[in-house]
Amino acid sequence: MAKRYSIAVVPGDGTGPEVIAEGVKVLDAAAAKAGFALDYDYFPLGGEHYLDTGELLGADTVSKLSAADAIYLGAIGHPGVKPGILEKGILLELRFQLDQYINLRPVRLYEGVSTPLKDKGPADIDFVVVRENTEGLYTGAGGCLKRGTADEVAVQESINTRKGVERCIRFAFEYCRRRNRRKKLTLCGKTNVLTFAFDLWQRVFDEVATEYPDIATDYANVDAICMWMVKNPEWFDVIVTDNMFGDIITDLGAMIQGGMGIAAGGNINPAGVSMFEPIGGSAPKYTGQGKINPLAAILAGQLMLETLGERQAAGWIEAAVQEVLRGDIKDVAAGRMGLSTSQVGDRVRAALSRG
């Protein structure tokens, strides 16, 4: 009997459904070739659903999602909903409730994709950011007093638990070992100013490092990392950092790898259900035009198969994407591809089936 995986699909808002359709196309081709099956269950979460029903994320939905083998997410974000409501009520809520404590974001420049970095090529830009995904400034801890008055006080606290920091750092060491490239793990923090939070991160990092003598370790402050990612991206192999810094440096990472059209990530719970997404958002101005690049969603599908243990099928997807990028696609940016969203998906599927 062929192995079957149940995939919960959340196409979401804006261009989410368009890119997810292409991702599913490619996933199905990879599964057929490898001899396993993917059963999809669609969930209508997002801005439209919220505006229609007032519901963000029902308890029932969370329990159904947590029963899946993986979640495949398009994008959450709607111009008709105040910023923060959908992001907090759906995306962050899922990350927290499903305890997806790692946000894994590969930064890789493929051949045929242009980077804004002068004199840098695919050999120089190939690293992975391991971002903590359930703590830090994202927990919502804090509050405000006397809102709207001249005496207003706003406090937003960064929560860093020993357990949360340690499991993230351990994941990063393990990942770096498994990746087996330069075997170098860089801690990105701000030990010169955030002397409580990053003192904890640094101590745990040094402690766990003793169990991984094969991994070289390094430290850089977040501001310096932003400089090095532009000046010497080839220095990095795996970077581990907290939630907020990880959010910021992975947008910088997405730009140096060619743009949001190609950047994918995984929200990982190594012992539970993980969720994979293109990191670019819902791009409302391109909705329904067939101009958005589906490659980020397709690469999110690749990460999903890799995490499910289907490494060969995942490798085929990546190779097919690389073939398409070496071909006649003009640019990875939305509207500048010289091809439509579904033409790009078709080409990846054809390359995969041929290869």
The residues of the shown chain that bind ligand IPM, judged by CB under 6 A, are 87, 91-92, 247, 279
In the complex with ligand IPM, which residue's Cβ is closer, 277 or 310? 277
Cβ–Cβ contacts within 10 Å for residue 4, how many?
12
> Which of Mn ion, ligand IPM, none does residue 87 bind to, with CB < 5 to 8 Å depending on kind?
ligand IPM
Counting DSSP H helices and E strands in the chain, the numbers are 12, 12
Question: Which of 39, 199, 251, 328 is labelled catalytic?
Answer: 251
Q: Does 247 bind Mn ion (CB under 5 A)?
A: yes
247 is catalytic: yes
Question: Which of 5, 101, 138, 175 is labelled catalytic?
Answer: 138
The least CB distance from residue 47 to Mn ion, in Å, is: 18
> Which of ligand IPM, Mn ion, none does residue 28 bind to, with CB < 5 to 8 Å depending on kind?
none
Question: Which of 5, 50, 190, 291 is labelled catalytic?
Answer: 190
Cβ–Cβ contacts within 10 Å for residue 82, how many?
7
What is the b/e burial string over 223-247, where b = at least 16 CB atoms within 10 angstroms of the residue's CB?
eebbebbeeebebbbbbbbbbbbbb
Task: Kindly state the greatest CA–CA separation across the chain.
Answer: 68
C-alpha of 49 from chain center? 23
> Which of Mn ion, ligand IPM, none does residue 292 bind to, with CB < 5 to 8 Å depending on kind?
none
Q: Report the alpha-carbon distance of residue 190 to residue 41 in Å, rounded.
A: 42
In the complex with Mn ion, which residue's Cβ is closer, 247 or 277? 247
The least CB distance from residue 303 to ligand IPM, in Å, is: 14
Partner residues linked to 267 by β-bridges: 103, 275
**What DSSP line would sit under 122-189, residue for residue?**
TTT-EEEEEEE-SSBGGG--EEEESTTSTT-EEEEPPB--HHHHHHHHHHHHHHHHHHTSS-EEEEEE
The least CB distance from residue 54 to Mn ion, in Å, is: 26
Q: Report the alpha-carbon distance of residue 209 to residue 153 in Å, rounded.
A: 40
138 is catalytic: yes
Q: Report the alpha-carbon distance of residue 240 to residue 250 in Å, rounded.
A: 11
Question: Which of 223, 231, 285, 328 is labelled catalytic?
Answer: 223
Q: Which residue is nearest to ligand IPM (CB)?
A: 87
212 is catalytic: no
> Which of ligand IPM, Mn ion, none does residue 204 bind to, with CB < 5 to 8 Å depending on kind?
none
The least CB distance from residue 87 to ligand IPM, in Å, is: 4
Quick check: 342 and 290 in contact, CB under 8 A? yes
The least CB distance from residue 282 to Mn ion, in Å, is: 13
Binders in 91-130 for Mn ion, by CB under 5 A = none
> Which of Mn ion, ligand IPM, none does residue 124 bind to, with CB < 5 to 8 Å depending on kind?
none
The least CB distance from residue 180 to ligand IPM, in Å, is: 27
Quick check: 261 and 339 in contact, CB under 8 A? no
In the complex with ligand IPM, which residue's Cβ is closer, 92 or 295? 92
Q: Report the alpha-carbon distance of residue 286 to residue 228 in Å, rounded.
A: 33
> Which of Mn ion, ligand IPM, none does residue 71 bind to, with CB < 5 to 8 Å depending on kind?
none
In the complex with ligand IPM, which residue's Cβ is closer, 61 or 282? 282
In the complex with Mn ion, which residue's Cβ is closer, 22 or 247? 247
Radius of gyration of the chain (CA): 20
Quick check: 249 and 45 in contact, CB under 8 A? no
64 is catalytic: no
190 is catalytic: yes
In the complex with ligand IPM, which residue's Cβ is closer, 87 or 166? 87
Site residues (CB under 5 A) for Mn ion?
247
Q: Which residues are catalytic?
A: 138, 190, 223, 247, 251
